[in-house]
Amino acid sequence: MNSRVPFSEGDPIFSAISPYAASKLACEALGHVYHHVYGMDIVALRFFTVYGPRQRPDLAIHKFARLISTGQPIPVFGDGSAARDYTYVTDTVDGVIACTQKAVGYDIFNLGESQTVTLNRLVELLEKHLGKNAIIDRQPPQPGDVPITFADISKARKELGYRPRTRIEEGIPLFVEWFRRTARAG
């Protein structure tokens, strides 16, 4: 687990606290080995809570939008103060494309928004743009969950020209617009 924020690509991370985090670290290590042994260019990208149209329905923003829209309770783990670096999908795609434009050997880049939003604020934004109040079902914090994710994107800015443009205040209305369109079509 990394206790420093924002998270930098160079921070030492040796003790993952969830299977998900451990699998990501293992992939980065394997990529490094393939670069070292076979000379392959390998870029590991660390995405920070990507959201937007076509988001998986089991992820928080999509799940919450569906539950709020149908008047069902949303599960909120902890007190809602956990913060995430929500990154709009087009900004993430821009970072991915930027990585394909240069040979890097082996490298790691954070692709995030570089701002944090609490779970409580996320729910407020969804309520505002859906035009409905959420019914909150408070749950204990989940094991392996971290209190904050926050990307230091200075390396991606410098080396890739990465510049996220869509702040959560603009991204949530775009997501809700897509969500409503697909809900009507389905």
Residues labelled catalytic: 20
DSSP of 22-47, one letter per residue?
HHHHHHHHHHHHHHHHH---EEEEEE
- Tokens for 9, please give them: 């690509």
DSSP of 139-179, one letter per residue?
EPPPTT--SB--B--HHHHHHH-------HHHHHHHHHHHH
- Tokens for 56, please give them: 């998986």
CB atoms within 10 A of CB 69: 16
d(CA 68, CA 119): 15
